[in-house]
């Protein structure tokens, strides 16, 4: 009788642990940022070559810097040619 109760208690504990693990995985998937793309780390620039993202830049800041660099190059090109 005691062995049966012990097995039932063990099954309840295992089921509880599995439930907690599944809920934690689901929560981490919901809280995760969107997956990165290659354009979040390297981008071609108008002046030729590529610009690499700095470690302290967010993907949006990186894209803004690339856009600004391309606009600056276009303005210099218009003035010189």
Count other C-beta atoms under 10 Å from residue 35's C-beta: 6
- Number of structural domains the chain divides into: 2
| Pairing of β 50-52 and β 42-44 | antiparallel
Same domain, yes or no: 4 and 23: yes
Do 48 and 79 fall within a single domain?
Answer: yes
pLDDT of residue 35: 67
* CA 34/CA 31 separation, integer angstroms: 9
- Range of 17's domain? 1-32
pLDDT value of residue 50: 80
pLDDT at position 49 is: 78
Instruction: For the chain, list residues with pLDDT below 70.
Output: 32-40, 81
Residues 43 and 80 in one domain: yes
**pLDDT given for residue 81 in this prediction:** 62
Interatomic CA distance for residues 55 and 61, integer angstroms: 11
Measure the CA–CA gap between 73 and 38, rounded to whole angstroms: 23
Which pLDDT score, from 0 to 100, does residue 34 have?
66
């Amino acid at each position: 009788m005691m062995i049966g109760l012990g097995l039932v208690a063990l099954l309840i504990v295992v089921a509880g642990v599995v439930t907690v693990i599944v809920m934690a995985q689901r929560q981490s998937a919901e809280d995760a940022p969107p997956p990165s793309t290659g354009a979040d780390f390297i981008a071609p620039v108008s002046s030729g070559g590529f610009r690499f993202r700095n470690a302290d830049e967010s993907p949006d800041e990186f894209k803004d810097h690339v856009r600004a660099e391309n606009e600056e190059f276009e303005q210099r090109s218009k003035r010189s040619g």
